[in-house]
Amino acid sequence: MPLLQFNLVKDAWTPADVQEILDTAYDVTLSIFHAPQGDRYQTVSYFTPENLIMKDTGLGFERSNKRILLNIRTRPRTKDEKVAFYQQLFEQLHARFNLSAHDLMVNMVENSDADWSFDGGKAQFLTGDL
């Protein structure tokens, strides 16, 4: 049940492109994290180029307006799962959009089952409903 929050530059991607980005990330989530079908939670926020600041952390490169900042909230994942997720997501986005390596940044924040309520103010993981 990862929650994927995409931050994009407004008008840099077509609506069809955005849908393909979301579908691609969902497929990678299923593949790498073994999430069940239908376990899909994604949001997209748009920013002006000036309001989506993604510097290079001193690595010496520049990013284009096609930059994607992806925040993921998820259960704890192994180092291998994280590395595989980052790599597979980039490879697929690069193949589909020729996305530059510099234009994808991913931040993963871990949480636990107790941090989720899916409806009705219930903690379904804690009550055994899930």
Which candidate in 2, 15, 36, 76 is catalytic? 2
User: Between β-strands 68-74 and 41-47, what pairing exists: parallel, antiparallel or unpaired?
Assistant: unpaired
Distance, first Cα to last Cα, the chain: 11
| Amino acid present at 33 | F
> Any idea what the Cα angle at residue 22 is, between residues 18 and 28, rounded to 5°?
145
Examine the residue annotation and report whether 2 is marked as an active-site residue of this protein: yes
**Is there a contact between 71 and 5 (Cβ–Cβ < 8 Å)?**
yes
Cα 104 from Cα 33, distance rounded (Å): 19
- Looking at the annotation, which residues are catalytic? 2
